[in-house]
Amino acid sequence: MRLTPGTKITNICLPAIDSSVFKTENIKGQPFMLSFLRFASCPFCNLRINELVRRFDEFGNEFTIIAVFDSPLDNLIRHTEGHKAPFPILADEKNKYYKAYGIEQSFLGMIKGMILRMPTLLKGMTKGYLPFIIKGSMMTMPADFLVDREGIIQDAYYGRDEGDHLPFDAVKDFSLK
């Protein structure tokens, strides 16, 4: 079931690529974007992480991002540690939080993204984000949640296809409030 604005977040406790265990309670009182992505080698997801890392300084000083992948930790480390993200990148291999947040699976969304976003897919692949090792579901659709200081979802964005994310400017506007 999809979550809606006004819903209190479900606290998250997951392993991070830096070998720590991340808990949302550790950022209590801080606004953030909770971003559910697909499998670790997904070109669309890696392009998204790349953009968020590259433009992270455009966000407000107290704002952060939590990126969650549908992958085992070892595979996630292999595919994402090169981003050197200033925010936590987490592995939810058993999809515990994907289920809690109503993250959807869609074969049609996967095909739609491959066709309609072919230039983006090719861009990701030319940057070296090659989906040769797929550990996680190819049918997972991305979702982004903007969460306020009280832990309340202010925006719940469920991607319509594999490359559909909340626009960067919407995230930036929220971060500067």
The pLDDT, as a whole number, for residue 86 is 96
123 pLDDT more than 90: no
Please report whether residue 20 resides in a domain: no
Please report whether residue 1 resides in a domain: no
Query: How many domains, the chain?
Result: 1
Please report whether residue 132 resides in a domain: yes
Alpha-carbon distance 47 to 127, whole Å? 9
Separation in Å, CA 148 to CA 6, 8, 55, 152: 10, 10, 20, 5
Range of the structural domain that residue 152 is part of: 27-175
Alpha-carbon distance 108 to 23, whole Å? 33
Q: List, for residues 143-157, the tens digit of each pLDDT value.
A: 999 999 999 999 999
Q: Which domain CATH number covers 160?
A: 3.40.30.10
Which whole number is the average pLDDT over 16-29? Answer: 95
Please report whether residue 150 resides in a domain: yes
CA dihedral 88, 101, 71, 118 (to 10 degrees): -100
The pLDDT, as a whole number, for residue 59 is 96
What does the mean pLDDT of the chain come to? 91
Q: List, for residues 59-74, the tens digit of each pLDDT value.
A: 988 999 999 999 999 9
Contact 156, 58 (CB under 8 A): no
Contact 30, 149 (CB under 8 A): yes
